[in-house]
Amino acid sequence: MAMTSLERAEAAEHAMSQELDRIVVKSVIYTSGDRDPRQPLPPQQSQGKLYMMGHDPRLPLMPEKPTLFDFFKYRFGPSAHVLQSARLAKKNGVSEKIVLACLLHDISVMGFIRGDHGYWGAQLVEPYVDEEVSWAIRHHQVLRFFADESYGYKYPDSYVRLFGADYQPEPHIQEAYRRAREHKWYETCRLITVNDLYAFDPNVKVELEEFTDVVGRHFKQPKEGLGFDQSPSAHMWRTMNHPTKYL
């Protein structure tokens, strides 16, 4: 016999409470610093309980074959900054590849890992975009710290506020900058930083759908869904999908 909608809701709630009985152990990197990673974890009430090995019911369920936009909708934090950057890039008449790079440049901050986010972000998208796009995303990490007046890019005032007036990028970043400066795709990356800096405006609302065509043309979605193909970064997308998975 078919369930009523109330029964269905109750069944769903029951399933969820069962799910929540799963033991969640956070990865060391999520808590390292808040706690000393060398210390053993406090003992858990694990009697009769299973460990989280898939979907965490506290998060919205992702479609079986998640797309890039599904990650924007269900896993990433607010995306106004990258949407505004991408729109600004479009308005400035840059190529679609650069618009895509602007749309994706901070996805690691939004959904994965903040420190070294340019490198992580590039690695996430590398199998699915033109090499020039991932190169530019990787190096925006570095170029942001160095002015280039010929593109009208100044050292961000906000960095003085955030990191102090005497902040100096580490030697490996300085070296990465010297190399990027000589690279044939320097300009592509520089244009991310140019369109990045002025992109914050709380009053401008940009919809993801504005970039459906650009993404469709320049982001090769795997047919199995992000995370379930066999690409070198599939596991990173799975980790964002299932961030509390025990193993």
Query: Could you list the residues that contact Fe ion (CB under 5 A)?
Result: 106, 196
Closest to Fe ion by CB, 52 or 106: 106
Kindly state the smallest distance separating residue 117's Cβ from Fe ion, in Å.
6
Kindly state the smallest distance separating residue 237's Cβ from Fe ion, in Å.
19
Sequence-distant (≥ 6) Cβ neighbours of residue 178 within 8 angstroms: none
Question: Rounded CA gap, 45 and 66, in Å?
Answer: 34
Kindly state the smallest distance separating residue 173's Cβ from Fe ion, in Å.
13
Closest to Fe ion by CB, 196 or 227: 196
HSE-up of 100 (CA within 13 Å, CB side)? 25
User: 146: which DSSP letter?
Assistant: S
Closest to Fe ion by CB, 190 or 222: 190
Collapsing DSSP states into helix, strand and coil, what is residue 153?
A: strand
Kindly state the smallest distance separating residue 193's Cβ from Fe ion, in Å.
8
Question: Rounded CA gap, 188 and 100, in Å?
Answer: 11
Q: How many angstroms separate the first and last alpha carbons of the chain?
A: 39
Q: Is the dihedral of CA 70, 74, 76, 79 positive or negative?
A: positive
Closest to Fe ion by CB, 75 or 144: 144
Rounded-to-10 torsion of CA 115, 139, 73, 88:
130
Kindly state the smallest distance separating residue 194's Cβ from Fe ion, in Å.
11
Closest to Fe ion by CB, 48 or 78: 78
